[in-house]
Amino acid sequence: MYVVCVTVKVKPGRGDEFAQVAWRDHEGTRKEPGNLRFDVLRSEVPAAPGEPELFFLYEVYRSKEDFAAHQLTPHFLAFREESKDLMAEPRQSVKYESLFPEPWV
């Protein structure tokens, strides 16, 4: 399995907007045959007043190729476009190979 973990810092006061944009991407991604999981997490509170809100996306795909296909879908391209003005800084992603559990079902 191929796992992508994305950290997103969202401009103060824009977290609800980002959550809606992420929800649409989540809905589309979960319909992809190569996607096994797409979690969107939101920190309870910003680190301090006026600080960016922190989101974490946890995505699991059957293969690296399935993730590459995801990046070409209309819902991902819309997410990328709609979220860019909501982010306090560019999103950071780390890719992993899942060791266990196996199999993901």
- Tell me: the pLDDT tens digits for 77-102? 999 999 999 999 999 999 999 888 87
Retrieve residue 51's tokens. 């600080």
Give per-residue pLDDT as tens, 49-63: 788 999 999 999 999
Cα separation of 76 and 68, whole Å?
A: 11
51/28: higher pLDDT: 28
Torsion (CA) 74, 80, 81, 86 in degrees, nearest 10: 140
| Mean pLDDT over each residue of the chain, to the nearest integer | 93
